[in-house]
Chain A
Amino acid sequence: DTAVSQTPKYLVTQMGNDKSIKCEQNLGHDTMYWYKQDSKKFLKIMFSYNNKELIINETVPNRFSPKSPDKAHLNLHINSLELGDSAVYFCASSNGRRDEQFFGPGTRLTVL
């Protein structure tokens, strides 16, 4: 029973393409997140949704657009991919803003 799942696990694509990453959690949590972990292993918040409402939108290029169709799902669409977008993208969820966050296995994006 996977708590937070992401698809795909690996994504290799060309510059300029548009791609999506999907995330689902079966923990009944109200809050979901997208984090980016770059080549230096630094994990940084990108977006946060609470009950389908956008709460945090960090300084992220508007080529990145999150979508939350319901509170169990948070997808990330990326337009016009650039080399610098290569990273591992983690989805996470929590039951409150001070609670432990549960992470998905990550999506390793490589832009060629």
Chain B
Amino acid sequence: RKEVEQDPGPFNVPEGATVAFNCTYSNSASQSFFWYRQDCRKEPKLLMSVYSSGNEDGRFTAQLNRASQYISLLIRDSKLSDSATYLCVVNRENSGYALNFGKGTSLLVTP
């Protein structure tokens, strides 16, 4: 089983739509969870950290379910500028200082 699994998409949605991405992880000892965004030919950048109680940042809401080892990202009122690849990221709690990245979910927001 891969350490972090995501649906690769692509997700094609119209502007204004709500879209949700899901992710599962295999290491139950993981303590830190993130969503990163990567634009084409650019470096990954942190979108938001994910906390156990769930957290919101503007149009973005992240949820964590530790029992199911499941992370989600909800984007409301999609903008054209949201088009990117969204990477689910989980820390490697048992083996040093690194992050495990999912393969990413591709989002295309269309006019």
Q: Is the CB of A33 within 8 A of B97?
A: yes
Chain B residue at smallest Cβ distance from A105:
B43
With A and B bound together, what is the CA distance between A31 and B34 in angstroms? Answer: 18
With A and B bound together, what is the CA distance between A98 and B20 in angstroms? Answer: 25
B49 touches A (CB below 8 Å):
yes
Interface of A is mostly: strand
Q: Is the CB of B31 within 8 A of A98?
A: yes
Q: What bracket does the count of chain A residues touching chain B fall in? A: 20 to 34
Cβ distance B34 to chain A, nearest Cβ, rounded Å: 7
A90-B44, A98-B91 given; A41·B104 CB < 8 A? yes
Q: Is the CB of A43 within 8 A of B34?
A: no
Contact with A along B38-58 (1 / 0, CB 8 A): 000011111001000000000
A11 touches B (CB below 8 Å):
no
Q: Which of A77-112 contact B (CB under 8 A)?
A: 90, 94, 97-106
With A and B bound together, what is the CA distance between A101 and B99 in angstroms? Answer: 9
Q: What bracket does the count of chain B residues touching chain A fall in? A: 20 to 34
Residues of chain B within 8 A (CB-CB) of A103 are: 43-45
Max chain B C-beta neighbours (<10 A), residue from A43, A56, A99: A43
Q: Is the CB of B104 within 8 A of A55?
A: no
Q: Is the CB of B97 within 8 A of A31?
A: yes
8 Å CB contact of A43 from B31, B97, B101: B101
A76 touches B (CB below 8 Å):
no
Q: Which of A55-70 contact B (CB under 8 A)?
A: 55-56
> When A and B form their complex, which 4 residue pairs have the shortest distance between CB atoms, in order from nearest?
A103-B43, A45-B98, A98-B32, A56-B96
